[in-house]
Amino acid sequence: MKRIALICALLAASPVAAEEAVSYDTDQPFEDVVFGLENAIVGEGLVIDHISHVGEMLERTRADVGSDVELFKVADSYSFCSAALSRKVMEANPMNVMYCPYDIFVMVRADTPEVTTIGYRPFPEGEMKEVEALLDRIVRTAIGME
């Protein structure tokens, strides 16, 4: 019985639950949303470090992994960081390094090709909410909500 209680306690303490993304849907074409995102990131004085073409990779490897499911028409993830904001949140807690760089995704799902979705992963309560506010401002600016 003690063993079951210990296992339950460990599972309760483990980060096993997936977080829901913060996302916005728009009828704007993918290319327009990406253009808006790139401008919004640069408009914040930030530099895009990397663009990951997740959709292309999944499509290219679909047959190799034995799948016939088309997930996305297109899906990219933009990585960037803010030196000032990152320093601030990492001075508050050096473990916040795990959240850097910050990512915003843009996708068009295969089953809803008329909808472009843009969003980001939410952050925990505390100092990281300031980063989340930055990401939300960037996303909303990208699709004309700000």
Residue 101 lies in a domain: yes
In a domain, 7, yes or no: no
Contact 21, 135 (CB under 8 A): no
11 within some domain: no
Residue 93 resides in a domain: yes
Residue 118's pLDDT is 98
Note the pTM of the prediction, 2 decimals. Answer: 0.86
Q: Where are the alpha helices (DSSP H) in the chain?
A: 2-13, 30-43, 54-60, 83-92, 128-142
90: left (phi over 0), alpha (psi -120 to 50) or beta: alpha
30-43 vs 128-142: helix crossing angle, rounded to 10: 130
- Predicted confidence (pLDDT) per residue in 90-122, tens digit: 999 999 999 999 999 999 999 999 999 999 999
Q: Of 9-23, 61-75, 93-107, 132-146, where does mean pLDDT reach its minimum?
A: 9-23
Q: What mean pLDDT comes out for the span 141-145? A: 97
Count of the separate structural domains present in the chain: 1
DSSP 18: P
CATH of the domain at 66: 3.30.310.70
SS3 98: helix
**DSSP 3-state assignment of 115?**
coil
CB 132 within 8 A of CB 111: no
Q: Specify if 4 maps to a domain.
A: no
